Amino acid sequence: MRMMKLTLLSLAVASSTLSHAARADEAFSNLFTQGKPILDGRYRYEHVDQDNALNNANAQTLRTRVGFQSGKWYGLSALIEADNVSRIGDASYNNTRNGQTDYSVVADPDGSEVNQALLRYDHKYGSAVLGRQRINLDNQRFVGGVAWRQNEQTYDGVLGQLKPLDGLTLSYAYIDNINSIFGPGDNRFDTAANPANIEGHSHLLNAQYIVMPELTATAYQYRLGLDNLAAGGQSSKTTGLRLNGAIAGVSYALEYAQQSEYAGNPLDLDSDYYLAELGYSFKGVAFKGGYEVLSGDSGPGNRAFQTPLATKHAFQGWADIFLLTPADGVKDAYVGLTAPLLGGSLQAWYHDFRAERDSSQYGEEIDVSYAHPIPGVKGLVGLVKYANYDADDFSVDTDKLWVQLQYSY
C-alpha cells in the first residue's frame, strides 16, 4: 500500500512535469549545473549535572552533514542529504544507545543515516514533496524537526501545499515513518521508550491565512497514529486555532487546541492546550512574555496533553524536564528577551512551572545563551548556552551547559 501511494504520487509529479514541458523549454542539465552542495559540521560539548544518583555527563560529539540540492527542471528538483554523528573522546554519558546508564542522558547517539532524500515539484499554486523530508509546521509546537539535537527528526511520506489565493496556504501530509533523534535503529538499546523509528500512519492538516499584516489565522488538525511508543496517550487527534501578528512593534499570539484519542489509543483523552503571548521589539531588542498550559486529566494512565512530534527543546525550558507532560499537566509562565550584543546575539529566559490540576509548584528555570560569528571564517558560528532547573515538587535540580561550533557552507 505504501509503495502504491508513492508510485501514484510519482506519476502525478511526472505528469505535471511533462505538461510544463509542452509549454516551455528548459535544459535537463539545470538539475546539476544549478545545484549546490550541502556541507555542515557541528561540534558540541554538553555537560549535564543532576541532583540524583547518576554520574555527571560530559559529551563531545561531531555532527557532519553532506548532500546535494539540485536545480530545477520544469519545477522538479531533488535533494539528498546524509548525517554522521561521532563521539569524540570518552563515552562518559548515556546517549540512549551506548549502555552507559550510570550517567545522565545526552540524547545524541553515534551513527550514520540518510537525513533527507526527496523529490519536489513547485508550481505557482503550490508544491508537492515525496520522500524523507524535514517538516516544520508553524512554530513547531506540534510538528517539527528537533534540529537542536545532533540527529535531526525527519519524516517519511508525502507533503502537499496548495496556495489558491494570496495569503492562503493549505497543507496536508501523510506520514508512515518518523526518523527520531534516537536513530539510527541498529542497536540492541533501541526500545519502545526511545525508538529510532516511530511507525504508524499520521495525517497532518494545516490551513493558514494571512488576513492582514497584523493578523495571521491558522487552523489545524493533526491525527497521529504512533504504533510503537511506550508512553501512553501518544496516538491522538489534536484540533486547534492559532492567531498571531504584530502591530507597531507589539507582537501577540493566542492559541487553543483540544486533544482526543486516535488510532486505537486505549486511553480516553480529553485535554486542552492554551497559549497567550505578548512581545515588544525596540531597536533590535525583543521582549516576550507568555502563559502556556498543557492540561492534565484524572483517571488511569497519563492522559495529559502530549506533543510527541514537537521540537520540544524550544518550549518549556532548555533543560528538557517536560519532554513528556506529567499526568497533572503543566502551566508555564515565562518572560525573556533577545538582544544584539558585541556583534552577537544574547538570549535570556525565566520560567515558572506549576501543575495544571492543582497548581502545585514544579520548579523554576533560568536559560541564557550567546551566539557570535567567528571572525575570519565565513559560515562559522560559536555558541555558549546554559540551563538551570531548580526543582520543587517535580524532577530534580538540573544544570546543563553547551559549547558549540557550527560551520555551514
Half-sphere exposure of 24 (CA within 13 A, CB side): 9
Task: State pTM to two decimals.
Answer: 0.91
Q: What is the pLDDT of residue 233?
A: 61
Tell which wins on pLDDT, 184 or 357: 357
Taking the mean position of all CA atoms in its chain, how far away is CA 224? 15
Half-sphere exposure of 285 (CA within 13 A, CB side): 7
Confidence band of 21 (pLDDT split at 50, 70, 90): very low
Q: What is the pLDDT of residue 230?
A: 72
Confidence band of 19 (pLDDT split at 50, 70, 90): very low
Q: What is the pLDDT of residue 14?
A: 47
Q: What is the pLDDT of residue 389?
A: 98
Per residue in 44-69, pLDDT (tens digit) is 999 999 999 999 999 999 999 999 99
Beta bridge partners of 390: 364
Q: How much is the average pLDDT of 112-121?
A: 97
CB 356 within 8 A of CB 296: yes
Q: What is the pLDDT of residue 279?
A: 98
Per residue in 186-203, pLDDT (tens digit) is 677 788 788 999 999 999
Q: What is the pLDDT of residue 74?
A: 96
Per residue in 76-95, pLDDT (tens digit) is 999 999 999 999 999 999 99
Q: What is the pLDDT of residue 188?
A: 76
**7 grid coordinates:** 508510485
Outline where 92-149 has alpha helix (H): none
Q: What is the pLDDT of residue 232?
A: 57
| pLDDT, the chain, mean | 92
Backbone angles phi, psi at 346, to 5 degrees: -105, 135
Rounded distance between C-alpha atoms, residue 154 and residue 275, angstroms: 26
Q: What is the pLDDT of residue 350?
A: 98
Give Rg (Cα) of the chain.
22
Share of the chain above pLDDT 90, in %: 86
Nearest CA-CA partner of 158 in 4, 34, 19, 388: 4
Strands 344-354 and 361-373: antiparallel
Domains annotated on the chain, with CATH:
2-408 (2.40.160.10)
Tell which wins on pLDDT, 340 or 8: 340
Confidence band of 18 (pLDDT split at 50, 70, 90): very low
Does 234 score more than 50 pLDDT?
yes
Rounded distance between C-alpha atoms, residue 311 and residue 143, angstroms: 7
Per residue in 144-178, pLDDT (tens digit) is 999 999 999 999 999 999 999 999 999 999 999 99
Per residue in 260-307, pLDDT (tens digit) is 999 989 899 999 999 999 999 999 999 999 999 999 988 788 899 999
Beta bridge partners of 37: 68
Q: What is the pLDDT of residue 6?
A: 45
Least confident of 21-30, 108-117, 119-128, 210-219: 21-30
CB 302 within 8 A of CB 330: no
